[in-house]
Amino acid sequence: MPFSAVEPVSVAPLICTLLDTIAAASPALQAGPEVRAFYAPACAPAWTTPADTLNPDALAALRLLGRAAEFGLPADYLPAPLLALRDSLRLPAAPRQRAWQLARLEIGLSDAVLRFMRDLHRGRLRPYTMPARSKGGKEQWQSVAVLQAALGQGRVTAAMLSGQPVNREYQQLQQALAQWLAQPAPPDSAAARRAQYEKAALNLERWRWEAWGPVPEYVYINLPAYELQVVANDAVVRHHRVIVGKPETPTPTLSSTIRYFTLAPDWHVPHSIATKEMLPRLKENPGYLGLNNLSLYDERGRWLDPYSINWVAVTAAHFPYTIRQSAGCENALGNVVFRFANPYSVYLHDTPMRQYFDRPTRAFSHGCIRLAEPLALAAYLLHREGRSVQLPNEAACARQPQPHDVRLRRPLPLFVRYATCVGEAGHLRFFPDVYGRDEAVRRNLFEAGAAVRVK
């Protein structure tokens, strides 16, 4: 029977043809490998119907893509050509022309959806870098499989959002940003509102890189907030003020586990402090060590008399000594230090200089984190294990007791992060960019030709 001009033209072969053509011509698809895997092997339409309309899954996907700003992402997932293809379905067209329109719309929408899912999961600026929360360095979440399983089940929106970080800090910030965007903007506030939006968005981007997986209880330190929180079952159960590193000696972000703490610790002075700060004072007065309860040792750990050293000949490059401060009230680590493995030789500790905790900005250290009310944290760690250990008071500190390690039976995860905007009770809260890290992220996120529409 001769071919009828009104007979529908199958869309699947055209999808296959387009994917082959795009693959041979140029990397026109921004999520090309994912799109090809999504349609393999038969290229069956996912978003359109035999009646030349968009199905409910497509409508749900388009609605979510239009809300990209709520997730701190540039609003370029619905480019003009894709919207034009969507709108073209309302106009009459010959069967073959319509089939090509549907095929192009299929591929364009799949590319947008899969790119959105990838950006939510890994971050817009690091699309090919494994996020920190990937278990064992292996990707557990697969966008194509997740999306395919959701088709026809009314779960496309949930599938598109499923790769986001699950930690409460990301979730609260994202929800607060969505609520903030829904509020009417004050008059004459466009510039300030834009700046606030970008600050919230760039912090969501950071979380996509540095979030952790599901953890029922952990210690979280936010450096710009100068605050430590103990979080249990998604609720903050303890707050502590902290002092963090100066801008020239910033505290690093890290993930580790508190496995033990040391009561009445002695302080092994870091080499950088010994050579940069103490050596010039020793050149002026070898008695500086004794005045500060510090002792000098050689490379084999033998005590040395500082007056026996020709300090004029000692340089920072050639400093074959270690300096240690015994336990006591004036010890730089105070009554307790919390230990956790990390490549930066930083730790969380008490301090005799407690007057600094009353200041609103607290970036004063060499990189370690000083903690207000540290013995209360030590007591909490023991209480959660049903243990009681005698913790030192000021009188015990004055007696200069020997260091004593207390091992935890239930080590507690520790996360140190840098968040200049957080979500609290549905509202955005901003902190100063103490280490000047925001601008580079903001510029790369928003000045690469992708404009974000902020209401």
Instruction: Indicate which residue of 43, 121, 240, 349 is catalytic.
Output: 349
User: In 10 A of CB 4, how many CB atoms?
Assistant: 8
For 144, phi then psi, to 5°, come to -65, -50
Whether the CA torsion 182, 187, 192, 198 is positive or negative: it is positive
Confirm whether 43 is a catalytic residue: no
Which candidate in 43, 368, 397, 421 is catalytic? 368
**Torsion angle, CA of 189/422/202/146, rounded to 10 degrees?**
-120
Rounded CA-CA distance 174/158 in Å is 15
The 10 Å CB-count burial string (b at 16+, else e) for 243-255 is: bbbeeebbbebbb
Q: Give the Cα separation of 432 and 375 in Å (integer).
A: 29
Residue at 160: amino acid letter: M
Dihedral Cα 373, 375, 376, 380, nearest 10 deg: 140
**Catalytic residue check, 349:** yes
Give the whole-angstrom CA distance, residue 447 versus residue 86: 28
Sign of CA dihedral 210, 36, 162, 66: positive
104/110 Cα distance (integer angstroms): 10
Instruction: Give every CB contact of residue 4 below 8 A, 6+ residues apart in sequence.
Output: none
Kindly list the catalytic residues: 349, 368
